Amino acid sequence: MRKAIQVNDYASVEALNKLFDEGYTVESVDDNGVYILKYDELKAEPIKRKAIDNEISTNITLDKTQPHIRIEFDDIRDVPKVWVDGELIGGVDDKPLVSLKVDWNTDTATENHKGFDINYYDLTGERGQSKGFHQGSVM
């Protein structure tokens, strides 16, 4: 199994160290701090997970000129599954999610900025590429 993670702050360093503790090893790293990790399931011990009772799901629907986004996660500590126009981006080995940012507030008397930023590492070709989807309102 392969996984990509961008290390650019203290929290991402902690996340990388957690992956090392789980048995991942570094396959490669680029100048942007994106680590490609590999996991040998035959060598590693199985990871024990605690069952989660509550399911959290969020859907963001945009108009037809913008991509349709769907975000799902069961636990805030898990990597969310992200679909863009029906294609799974996060939660798969060949398109692992690097970052997800959603900036959205309910409109009040003053209209607020809304936007999203989805970044992933595309491992489907011979060389991996950083890719993403970005959209925002203009104030």
Whole-angstrom distance, CA of residue 23 vs CA of residue 46: 10
Give the pLDDT of the chain (139 residues) as one tens digit per residue: 788 888 888 888 888 888 888 888 888 888 888 888 887 766 655 556 666 666 666 666 655 566 688 888 888 888 888 888 888 887 667 888 888 898 887 766 667 778 889 998 888 888 888 988 888 877 6
Predicted pLDDT at 124: 85
Whole-angstrom distance, CA of residue 30 vs CA of residue 127: 12
